[in-house]
A and B are shown apart, each in its own frame.
Chain A
């Protein structure tokens, strides 16, 4: 009985009610049950950051949270960040700087970058790198990602 539970949450501004297996993590729920495939799954043990998304205003690892724990929560995925315009500047800067190649890390990178920018982070490269330390990218070598974030902070992007 306690292996399936009903959850009600807000995902990208829309109310969702569903019955979930308690062992299913939040990203699998978003991808498989809601068709929101923007959040990626890499390692499923918290190391790569590809699953990073926003729950109740904080960026967290979607693979380390159970869907059932999101009952009552407000969840925003990379799709929601784009729809609301919150990620416009950072997305424009990523495109401008070529800050993605395969794109696997990108949803998590955008989420972590946005958390840094919205918290008033400075354009200091070491501070940007420290904030992104939990997001792996196997393609870009990070330089272009750091440049893109620094561009947004110094106001060099129009979106």
Chain B
């Protein structure tokens, strides 16, 4: 199908984009890799689109004060090619090839994935595992929200309608950071049926575990983290962590029942943890 009618505005500065967002029912258009399908399927019908693709300064990666700042309009393909991301956020580099397909990664953006909050998307879970901050801005001002407080439900975030995601900030990874990532899909590039991302310190004193595609949003698994943090991370502790996943509010979808999701989360955790320990 074709998209319904809308007004189109191409913003060239952040100020212009924010002013347009303040108008009623304007949607930001980033990579369009989720918004355009939703419009073509007539699942959504915004009155106006504010195209961010020509806005100066919204894309790119930079390092400041031990933080990696990624502009909202940075495309997956640019993140994949970035040496800085590979060095300072290896979890992101590891996970990127699993996000959709090359042609989608050539357009899709980190800010778009974050604003959309698809429960099956990889990026929100990566941001939870990494302890990221989401930088938001509207005409009135700027604020930042921890990833832990940003993803609130099915396609629901802490972002107000007139706010733009302008950047994502991550702590720079220490050289000895341990990571694990695993997702279960039917075919490469498909949305996952269940996925797990883990970040741990070298001595396992701190462990952060996040899941995607198992609930109505990306979720931290705090009881599982507690079961593994400060241990030697052996088989018994891992099985305790798997048992602790009952803390998650599992939700089935058209591919798998709630029960299957619960099972697949355990499988994903065991496989991701094997990478942490490798």
Which residues from chain A sit less than 8 Å from chain B, CB to CB?
Answer: 2-3, 5, 22-25, 28, 44-47, 49, 52, 58-61, 63-66, 68-69, 71, 112, 115-116, 129-131, 133-135
Is the pair A64, B2 in contact by a Cβ cutoff of 8 Å? no
Docked complex Cα distance between A115 and B77 (Å): 13
Known A131-B102, A134-B100: A3·B32 in contact at CB below 8 Å: no
Docked complex Cα distance between A28 and B6 (Å): 17
Interface core residue of A25, A129, A134 (most chain B CB under 10 Å): A134
Tell me the interface secondary structure of chain B in the complex.
loop
Is the pair B77, A63 in contact by a Cβ cutoff of 8 Å? no
List of A residues within 8 angstroms of B103 by Cβ = 49, 52, 59-61, 112, 115, 134
Interface residues of B in 178-209 (CB under 8 A from A): 187-190
List of B residues within 8 angstroms of A59 by Cβ = 102-103, 106
Is the pair B187, A133 in contact by a Cβ cutoff of 8 Å? yes
Write the nearest CB–CB distance from A156 to chain B, whole angstroms.
Answer: 24
Is the pair A2, B8 in contact by a Cβ cutoff of 8 Å? yes
List of B residues within 8 angstroms of A3 by Cβ = 5-8
Docked complex Cα distance between A130 and B100 (Å): 10
Is the pair A44, B5 in contact by a Cβ cutoff of 8 Å? no
Beta-carbon nearest neighbor of A45 in chain B: B37
Which residues from chain B sit less than 8 Å from chain A, CB to CB?
Answer: 1-10, 32-33, 36-37, 40-41, 48, 51, 53, 77, 97, 100-104, 106-107, 187-190
Docked complex Cα distance between A59 and B104 (Å): 9
Is the pair A46, B7 in contact by a Cβ cutoff of 8 Å? no
Is the pair A45, B40 in contact by a Cβ cutoff of 8 Å? yes
List of B residues within 8 angstroms of A64 by Cβ = 32-33, 36-37, 107
Interface core residue of B2, B48, B51 (most chain A CB under 10 Å): B2
Is the pair B7, A58 in contact by a Cβ cutoff of 8 Å? no
Contact of A49 among B10, B51, B101 (CB under 8 A): B101
Beta-carbon nearest neighbor of A49 in chain B: B103
Is the pair B41, A60 in contact by a Cβ cutoff of 8 Å? no
Known A49-B103, A112-B103, A129-B188: A61·B33 in contact at CB below 8 Å: yes
Is the pair B1, A44 in contact by a Cβ cutoff of 8 Å? yes
Write the nearest CB–CB distance from B278 to chain A, whole angstroms.
Answer: 21
Is the pair B4, A23 in contact by a Cβ cutoff of 8 Å? yes
Docked complex Cα distance between A130 and B98 (Å): 10
Is the pair B8, A25 in contact by a Cβ cutoff of 8 Å? no
Write the nearest CB–CB distance from A71 to chain B, whole angstroms.
Answer: 8
Is the pair B36, A25 in contact by a Cβ cutoff of 8 Å? yes
Is the pair A115, B32 in contact by a Cβ cutoff of 8 Å? no
List of B residues within 8 angstroms of A112 by Cβ = 102-103
List of A residues within 8 angstroms of B5 by Cβ = 3, 23
List of B residues within 8 angstroms of A28 by Cβ = 2
Is the pair A69, B53 in contact by a Cβ cutoff of 8 Å? yes
List of A residues within 8 angstroms of B188 by Cβ = 129-130, 133
Is the pair A23, B3 in contact by a Cβ cutoff of 8 Å? yes
List of A residues within 8 angstroms of B3 by Cβ = 23, 25
9 contacts between A and B (CB under 8 A): A2-B9, A22-B8, A60-B107, A63-B36, A69-B32, A112-B103, A115-B103, A133-B189, A134-B104
